[in-house]
Structure 1
Amino acid sequence: MNNTHLHIADESFSLKRFPLNQFDKSLRAWDAGDEYLISHVVENIDLASTKHIVIVNDSFGALTCAMARLAPHARIDVYTDSFMSETGILKNLVACNLDKNSVNIHSALELAQLESANTHIDLMLVKVPRTLSYLEFLLIELNKLLNDSTQIIAAAMVKLITSSALKVFDKCLSNTRTSLARKKARLVFADKRDAITESLPVNIVSDAELNFDLHNYANVFCRDQVDIGARYMLKAMPKHINPNQVVIDLGCGNGILGTQVLLNQAQAKVIFVDESYMAIASAKETLANSGALESSGTNNAEFVISHCLHDFPDNSADVVLCNPPFHQQNTVIDDIAWQMFVDAKRVLKEGGELRIVGNRHLDHRVKLTKLFGGCKVVASDTKFLVLKAIKHS
């Protein structure tokens, strides 16, 4: 099986997942849902007369590359919440000998800023996300942009086309129907809903154990409550972060760890880093409403969209805090965590500390020992470990 070339609709597309340094080389940059959707469009839609295509939640560019080649005269707008998906789309366009400037890539948050009067969309292609609140956000905002003639087609592996997901389609759109399954993938068709639903609000989570509220956009992990890993990490935070030290909240999510740092030490500098646009937006709102900036000043916080610490200078941080993910989109994978650890070691100053929280069954302890020459268990219970590793020359 060729894992880098998608052959479909008499075309061949060179596609790679990002980041490239994955341990599991069998993973592809597309799935059967992408193949099903592209085939359906080619067989049933007149692309020659299609003028405007909107693609939402493309994984790594399979849909974008296919439409850019098969409908070269159409305007193509792509909306994603993932910096890594955006990176993959751009790099795969180039690899397919397509002009990366021929498509317009936007943050999914920009959907809420569009007005239907300013755009006419002929075709809307959606990859169904695993997070139902994110699906609801997307469908609410997309419905506002639909015209009576717009064709909207969604795709996913069957395991994601659940009864709960279909209820979201029914709530936000009208006349929902599904295709037969093909290679464990399914398509979902729907029409414009005349009644406009209000935008999905930022979810504010209050918790008795926190002295500030969390502000969660639709695609933030654990949107409705405090993530249990982050909750445990808060009990084992570094005790002696000094004024003017640089602390990185890596994979910051809603900013819970970095915000607590600034509440504890107002004069530290905290850099919030995530690859999700909605995570960064959530972290900004969490911090802004926490009261931490009243004493620290706005210059003590920075927000960066990035894959791990890719563009950060060497030896520039004193502490890196991390609650690493164990999946990328719909794939369980620990490559991202490993890259976080590698980048943290490079970016930390000599004597600097990486502190992480993770499930006990994961082999983070082995990885940190291999990378740093050792690590220490700071706290543990039946589910989690908090580990720290110190950078030595």
Structure 2
Amino acid sequence: MTPFHHPWGQLALQRWPRRRNETLQAWDNADLYLLNTLAERGLPVSEADEAAKAGATTLVLNDQQGALALALQQAASAGGAVVESSGDSFMAQAAALANGEDNSLQGIRFLWPFDALGQTPDQVIMRVPKSVALLEWQLHWLSQHLPQGVPVWLAGMDKHLPRQLVSLLQRYLGNGRAEYGWKKARLFSAQTPGQVLADTSYPSKVEAGDWQLTVHAGVFAQQQLDIGARFFLDHLPQSLAAGSRVVDLGCGNGVIGLAALQASPSAEMTFCDESWLALESARDNVSRYFPEAQCQFHHGDGLLGLENDFDCILLNPPFHDGHVVGDHVARRLFNQAARALAPGGELRVIGNRHLGYHKVLSRRFGSVTVLGSNAKFVVWRCQDPVQSGAKAG
């Protein structure tokens, strides 16, 4: 747990999901720079005039672990101001909720994309997302839904910022500038135009055989089907028994689950993703091509919160968690799959050859078989879970 000292107090913050011996802290200098600037410039959340502060609403976008929303909630609590937090990530919201509970902070209203705002915000506080597509879509959304003149503040670490950020602000908001840098972080400022100045190309369309898939902003493989998914499609199970319970885990646009439904129309398919916009993409594509299929859509941390005993789990795991690269997400999903399989069930997983997933999988499953490989990817069938090797979440 890392103490986070900000202009209005202190927070004890942890990353989510919580891991033993965590080496990464739950906030960075971009969070602190943004909050310091708000305090120094006297924006609505820190107005000395209590009457002005009482009705102030701050919209926070893309908060990573709750550092921004919770700090603003501490600042707002005495004066009755309102904090609303919106983003695409279930894990980010889970982190904010857990950290809020640890710090006895409540009252933040969480919104998913397309949800209606409670009231027009007096300011927008925004972490620059990793996906430029998501950034463009959010800027377009602000121009479409907010009146003219609402201040918009964006922050990010220098190494993660897109080079065209100022030009994107000017394109979608009609204004925008870079502020000074501080400790490898940078701030940007703009105001909403009160009208749509430029359209976006999102959601985009991606060709996948006979299908034209909807892909919402920020979802992986924005312009074309990724090569890993293409290879995985050639190694999916065929003709599963009627009523088989199948999961497309980390579904993205849903193409893997759609292909499984095409091969086994009577399967009971579940699409899972921690990205709200990914699930919305999968939902759109299922409704277009398999409107009669028995499907459910689970927004959460992998399989957690679902009933177990799946006959087949299909997984193309990410090896990026935001800007963090590693296999910790894949390991967590392997563990969940090992606990969730029905007797005789199987996990089919694809991975980049260099990641060496077979070593991890062999500790969690009694049977790990290579179904296909090429110079870049390997597909495994994993059966007979070893429960003692699947304790970690």
Question: So what's the TM-score if we normalise by structure 2?
Answer: 0.91
Matched, 1:356 2:349: yes
1:249-264 → structure 2 map (5 Å cutoff): 249-264=248-263
Alignment partner, residue 305 of structure 2: 311
Question: What does the per-residue CA deviation read over 1:105-160, in whole Å, with 9 as the maximum and x for residues that have no partner?
Answer: 010232xx55xxx8432111000001111001101111234344422100011123
1:1-393 equivalences under 5 Å are 4-9=2-7, 11-21=9-19, 25-46=22-43, 47-48=46-47, 49-50=52-53, 51-72=56-77, 73-99=80-106, 102-110=107-115, 119-196=119-196, 197-198=198-199, 200-207=201-208, 210-290=209-289, 292-293=290-291, 297-298=292-293, 300-314=294-308, 316-392=309-385
User: What amino acid sits opposite 1:303 in the alignment?
Assistant: F
Structure 1 residue 163, shift from structure 2 partner: 2.1
Q: Which runs of 5+ in 2 are unaligned?
A: 387-393
Query: Does the CA-based 8 Å contact 1:202-1:216 persist in structure 2?
Result: yes
CA–CA separation in structure 2 for the residues paired with 1:40 and 1:392: 52
SS of structure 1 residue aligned to 2:372: strand
CA deviation after TM superposition for structure 1 residue 177, in Å? 0.8
Deviates more, 1:334-343 or 1:56-65: 334-343
CA distance in 1, matches of 2:170, 2:87: 22
Q: Deviations over 1:331-350 (max 9, x none)?
A: 11322111111111111012
SS at match of 1:179: strand
Q: Distance in 2 between matches of 1:186 and 1:84?
A: 25
CA distance in 2 between partners of 1:345 and 1:361 (Å): 23
Letter in 1 for 2:298: V
Residue ranges of structure 1 left out of the alignment (5+ in a row) = none
**Is the CA contact (8 Å cut-off) linking 1:177 and 1:189 kept in structure 2?**
yes
CA distance in 1, matches of 2:42, 2:366: 58
Letter in 2 for 1:29: A
Shift of 1:161: 2.5
The 1:40–1:176 alpha-carbon spacing in structure 2 relative to 1, beyond 3 Å, is same
Contact 1:121-1:147 within 8 A present in 2 as well = no
Letter in 2 for 1:343: Q
For the Cα contact (< 8 Å) 2:239–2:263, is it kept in 1? no
The amino acid across from 1:154 in the alignment is L
Counterpart of 1:136 in structure 2: which amino acid?
E
CA distance in 2, matches of 1:225, 1:37: 35
Distance in 1 between residues matched to 2:66 and 2:257, nearest whole Å? 32
* Matches of 1:89 and 1:245, distance apart in 2: 36
Q: Is this contact kept in 2: 1:349–1:391, CA < 8 A?
A: no
Judging changes above 3 Å, is the alpha-carbon distance between structure 1 residues 302 and 10 closer, same or farther for their aligned structure 2 residues? closer
* CA distance in 1: counterparts of 2:173 and 2:276, whole angstroms: 25
Contact (CA 8 Å) 2:144, 2:195: kept in 1 or not? no
Contact 2:149 2:191 in 1 (8 A): no
Residues paired across the two proteins, number: 375
Q: Is the 8 Å Cα contact of residues 368 and 383 (structure 2) preserved in structure 1? A: yes
- The alpha-carbon deviation at position 194 of structure 1 amounts to 5.0
Q: CA RMSD in A?
A: 1.8
AA partner of residue 182 (structure 2): R
- SS across alignment from 2:71: helix
CA distance in 2, matches of 1:108, 1:9: 29
CA contact (8 A) 2:132 2:162 kept: no
Q: TM-score, normalised by structure 1?
A: 0.91
Q: Which amino acid aligns with 2:178?
A: T
| Rounded Cα–Cα distance in structure 2 between residues aligned with 1:148 and 1:306 | 35
Q: After superposition, what is the alpha-carbon deviation per residue over 1:239-266, rounded to whole angstroms, capped at 9, x for unaligned?
A: 3422111110000000001011111111
Moved more, 253-262 or 233-242: 233-242
Verify the 8 A CA contact 1:136 1:200 in the aligned structure 2: no
**Aligned partners of 1:193 and 1:57: how far apart in 2?**
21
Q: Does structure 1 retain, via aligned residues, the 8 Å contact 2:57–2:83? A: yes
Alpha-carbon distance in 1 for matches of 2:315, 2:350: 7
Is the alpha carbon distance of 1:40 and 1:264 closer, same or farther for their aligned partners in structure 2, counting shifts above 3 Å?
Answer: same
Counterpart contact for 2:8–2:75, Cα < 8 Å: no
Question: In the alignment, what sits opposite 2:391?
Answer: none
Paired with 1:195 and 1:163, the residues of 2 have a C-alpha distance of: 25
Superimposed CA distance per residue, residues 313-342 of structure 1 (whole angstroms, 9 cap, x where no aligned partner): 33x100000000111122113221111111
How many angstroms apart in 1 are the aligned matches of 2:82 and 2:200? 26
Alpha-carbon distance change, 194 to 70 in structure 1, aligned in 2, over 3 angstroms: closer
